[in-house]
A and B are shown apart, each in its own frame.
Chain A
Amino acid sequence: MRYFVGIDIGSTAIKISIADEDKNLVGHKISASGSMFYKYAQEALAELLRELGIDEKEVVYTVATGYGRKLFKEADENVSEITANAIGAQQAAKSYGNIKTIINIGGQDSKAISLDAEGNVVNFAMNDRCAAGTGKFLDVVAMNLEIGVDELSAYHFKSVGTPLSISSTCAVFAESEIIGLLGNNHSVEDIVSGVHYSIAKRIVKLVKRVGVKENVYFDGGPALNDGLVSAIENELGHKIFVPEYPQITTSYGAAVLACDAFLSESES
C-alpha cells in the first residue's frame, strides 16, 4: 500500500493527514507545535504511523505546508498553505459541491481564498498582522471568562439578550473591554455571542475582499465552534460548509497534492 503524507506545521499546532492512493483520508493527527516544532513534527508523524499500523516505507511522498514547512527537510516537496488549503477544501467537500470560497481561521491568522470553476486560486486575502479575529483571540476570551474554548459554542446559543459588541479592534484591548463588561454584570452568554459576532464581522469583511461565491467552506480550529459558525453565517447571510475535521483541511490538501505529485511523476 502506498500512502501519502501531508504535514501542516502551524505556529500553534502541527496537523498531519495521511491519504491513500484514492485520496481518501486514512488518518490524521493534531498536536501542539511548541517551541521545537521540528522535533515534535517528526515525533507526531512517527506516532501517527504507529497508530495506523503503517510502515515508514509505505509512505512514498510527503508534502509539507504551513508556517514551518521549509524547515521540515524530510518532505519531498513543500507548498504554500493557500494551495494546500484550496485542494484540501475541494477534496473534503466533494460530496457537498464545488467550493469557490474558503474561509480559514487559524491560531494566529485568518485567510479568505477565492477559487475559479476549475479550483484554481484566483484571489486571496490575509490577516496575519493581528490576533483579533483568530483562534488566539478566542483562547484569550475563554480564559478571561473562565470557561473552556470548547464551551464557547454552548454559551453562544444560550444567549437571549443582545450580543455585546466589542469595539476594540485589537485583541489586547478587547480583553480589557471584556473584563469591564463582566464587571458590569453582563452575562457570559451575551459576551461570548458579542465576541463571535466581532470576529464574524471582521472575517466577512476579509472574505468580501476576495468575493463571496457559492459554495463557501470554513476551516481551521475555530470552525469547530458552532457558535462562531452561526455568527459568520448570519453576517454573511449564507450557508457555509464546515468539514468533519476542520483543523486538518490544509494538511489533507497537502496529502492530496503528495498523491498527485507522486502519481504524475511515476507516469512521466
Chain B
Amino acid sequence: MHTEHSIETSAERQNRHKAMEAISVLNALKEDFKSPIHSMGYFYDLFEKVYCRHEPLHEGKAKIGTMCIQIPSEIIYALDAVPIRLCNGFYTDDEIGSDLLPQKSCPLVKATVGWFASDNFSDKPDITFSPTTCDQKTKAGTIIESFGHTVIDVGFPRTKESEESRHYWRESVKSFAVKLSKFQGKKLTRSNLESAIKKVGYAQSLYHKLTEFRKNKAVPILGVDMFLVTNAFFFDKIDAWIGAVEKLVAELEQRVSEGVNVAGKASPRIVYTGSPPIFPNYKIPLIIEQSDAIIVADETCSSNRMFNDMVAVDEWNLYDMIDSVSDKYLKACTCPIFTQNDDRIRRIIQLVRSYSADGVIYQAFAGCQVYEMEQRSVLAAMEREGIPTLYIESDYSPSQHGQLTTRVEAFIESLKNRKRMKR
C-alpha cells in the first residue's frame, strides 16, 4: 500500500526539528512535575504556537530584532514597533551556525547566526540592532549582514563606572533612537515614550510580584516555569503577556494561601546564574528541578535581568526620559562583558540571602569566554561567603545529558546533606 508523500523543503525540515525540540521541553514542563499551574497554559500554548506551528504573532507591525538585552525596548514600543529578542536556544540552529562560525564558539551566537543564515522566521525582523557586547555577538553582526539582513551596530561600553562610558552609552542610545525613528518614519515624543516606559515598567512590576512569591518556604512556581514566562517576553505581544501574567499572579496568590509547594519539603533552594537558558535549551534547569531541587531566583539576562531594573525618571520630559532609559540598561547591568564584575557578585550574594538559597549553580556555555573567565572571581567570592556553588559548562548538544545529570544530582545531594547536618 503506497501512500503518496512529498519531501520536506529544508525550511520545513528545520521547522520540524525545532518543533520537536520545543515540544519535548514543553511536554516535560507540563508533565514531569507536580501541582501544575493552570495559568501557565497560556505560555505553553504560546510557545507551541510560535515554535511548533510557526505561526506569526506580529503581522502588520514593524519587527525590530535585538541581539542582546541592552537595546531599549521602551524606545521601540514608543515608536510603534515590536522588539523581538533574537537570542536563540535551538540545537537545530546551532548546528547550522556551526558551519559558519569557529568550532569553539558560543552556542547561543552560533544558533542565532544559524537562524539568520537559514532565513526561516515566523516573525522576521525588518531590521536588527546589535549592541557591541561580547566578542562573538559583536562580530556576528557583519556575518549576519552577509546573509542579506540589515544589522545596525549600537556601541556599548566595556566599562560602566566612568563618566565617559556612561556618556558614550547615552549618546549611543540617542543615535539608536534617531535611526529607529527614521526607519519607522515616526518621532519620539514625550507622550509616546512616557507611555512606553510606564507600560514596560508595569510589566516589570508584575515580574517583581511573581518573584516575591519565590521567597516563601513553600514555593508555588517552578524555576523552569518562570524561565518560560520571562522568555515569552522576548517575542510575545506585550499586552497579552501582561494579561497572562496578571492571571498568573492571582493564581499564585491563591496557591500561596493554600500552601501549595511545587518542590519537596527538603528540596534545596538554588540560585541559577550564568549563560542564559533560552527556550528550548532548558536542559540544566530541568535537570535541577527533576533532581528534587527548586530554582528560587536567577541572575541571567534571559530572565531576571530583563525585569529587575526599572526606569526611574526625575523629570518626565523627553531629554530626561531618554537618559533614564539609557542609564537603566547600563549602570546596573551585570553582563560579564564588563571589566569589573563586583556588581554581579554582590547581586548573587544578595539573591542568596533574600531568597534563602542553599546553593548557587553557575552554568557557562562552552565557548563563552567571559562567563568562563569570571568563574574564578565568582567562585572565590562564593567561597568567602560560605555559599556552596557548582560550576558547569554545557552547550546545546543533546548528548551531554548523562554527565550533566550526574554532576547536578551529586551537588544537590550534597546540599541536602548539609541541610540535614545543620539540623
A interface residue numbers (CB < 8 A to B): 153-154, 157, 161-165, 167, 181, 184, 186, 194, 197, 226-227, 229-230, 233-235, 237-239
Chain B residues whose CB sits within 8 angstroms of the CB of A227 once the complex forms? 3
Q: Can you list 13 A-B pairs with a CB-CB distance of less than 8 A?
A: A153-B3, A162-B23, A162-B48, A164-B24, A167-B401, A184-B30, A184-B31, A226-B5, A230-B3, A233-B5, A234-B12, A237-B7, A237-B8
Chain A residue, CB-CB nearest to B31: A184
Q: How large is the interface on B (under 10, 10 to 19, 20 to 34, 35 or more residues)?
A: 20 to 34
The reply to whether the CB of B1 lies closer than 8 angstroms to some CB of chain A is yes
User: Scoring B residues 4 to 25 as 1 if CB is less than 8 Å from chain A, else 0, what string do you get?
Assistant: 0101101011001001111110
The reply to whether the CB of B27 lies closer than 8 angstroms to some CB of chain A is yes
Extra inter-chain contacts (20) besides given A164-B20, A167-B398, CB under 8 Å: A153-B1, A154-B3, A157-B5, A161-B52, A162-B20, A162-B48, A163-B16, A163-B19, A163-B20, A167-B24, A186-B27, A197-B16, A226-B5, A227-B3, A233-B5, A233-B7, A234-B13, A237-B8, A237-B10, A239-B7
The reply to whether the CB of B182 lies closer than 8 angstroms to some CB of chain A is no
A235 vs B17: C-alpha distance in the bound complex, in angstroms?
9
A237 vs B30: C-alpha distance in the bound complex, in angstroms?
32
Given A162-B20, A164-B24, A165-B20, do A157 and B3 touch, yes or no (CB 8 Å)? yes
A195 to chain B, nearest CB (A): 12
Chain A residues whose CB sits within 8 angstroms of the CB of B30 once the complex forms? 184
A225 to chain B, nearest CB (A): 10
Beta-carbon contact of B7 and A238 below 8 Å: yes
B29 to chain A, nearest CB (A): 12
A224 vs B52: C-alpha distance in the bound complex, in angstroms?
29
A154 vs B1: C-alpha distance in the bound complex, in angstroms?
10
A43 to chain B, nearest CB (A): 29
A151 to chain B, nearest CB (A): 10
A233 vs B7: C-alpha distance in the bound complex, in angstroms?
6
User: Scoring B residues 45 to 84 as 1 if CB is less than 8 Å from chain A, else 0, what string do you get?
Assistant: 0001000100000000000000000000000000000000
A123 vs B2: C-alpha distance in the bound complex, in angstroms?
31
Chain A residue, CB-CB nearest to B53: A162
Chain A residues whose CB sits within 8 angstroms of the CB of B2 once the complex forms? 226
Beta-carbon contact of B16 and A164 below 8 Å: no
Chain A residues whose CB sits within 8 angstroms of the CB of B10 once the complex forms? 237
Chain A residue, CB-CB nearest to B3: A226
Beta-carbon contact of A165 and B3 below 8 Å: no
Chain B residues whose CB sits within 8 angstroms of the CB of A153 once the complex forms? 1, 3
B288 to chain A, nearest CB (A): 18
Chain A residue, CB-CB nearest to B52: A162
Chain B residues whose CB sits within 8 angstroms of the CB of A157 once the complex forms? 3, 5
Beta-carbon contact of B7 and A197 below 8 Å: no
* Cβ contact of A230, chosen from B5, B21, B398, cutoff 8 A: B5
A170 to chain B, nearest CB (A): 12
Chain B residues whose CB sits within 8 angstroms of the CB of A229 once the complex forms? 5
A226 vs B398: C-alpha distance in the bound complex, in angstroms?
28
B181 to chain A, nearest CB (A): 40
A162 vs B21: C-alpha distance in the bound complex, in angstroms?
10
Chain A residues whose CB sits within 8 angstroms of the CB of B5 once the complex forms? 157, 226, 229-230, 233
A234 vs B48: C-alpha distance in the bound complex, in angstroms?
21
Given A162-B52, A226-B2, A238-B7, do A194 and B20 touch, yes or no (CB 8 Å)? yes
Among all A-B residue pairs, the 7 with the closest Cβ atoms: A234-B8, A162-B23, A162-B19, A230-B5, A165-B20, A226-B3, A162-B52
A234 vs B398: C-alpha distance in the bound complex, in angstroms?
21
Beta-carbon contact of A226 and B7 below 8 Å: no
